[in-house]
Amino acid sequence: MITGSIAAIGAGLAAIGAGLGIGKIGGSAMDGIARQPEAASKIQTAMLIAAAFVEAVALFAVVVALMGNG
């Protein structure tokens, strides 16, 4: 018998989405840096900002899961 909050499943699903998103951002940034190494610092900054937006979605899920458990 499995017990626990269904919020955990939601958090897991959100983690999948965020993982795909951040993976794509990171991969594209790598491509960009490989083609134009001199633009590396600019690409990194843009990458971090984009990653922060994606990550926020996953963190909303964490907060919702915590509230669901509380």
Binding site for other proteins (CB under 8 A): 41, 45, 48-49, 52, 55-56, 59-60, 62-63, 66, 69-70
Q: Indicate the residue among 15 and 32 with the shorter CB distance to other proteins.
A: 15
Question: Amino acid identity, residue 53?
Answer: F
Shortest Å distance, C-beta 36 to other proteins = 18
Q: Report the C-alpha gap between 9 and 17 in whole angstroms.
A: 13
Q: Helix-strand-coil percent breakdown of the chain, rounded to 5?
A: 90, 0, 10
Shortest Å distance, C-beta 59 to other proteins = 4
* Cα dihedral sign, 45-19-10-63: negative
Shortest Å distance, C-beta 28 to other proteins = 19
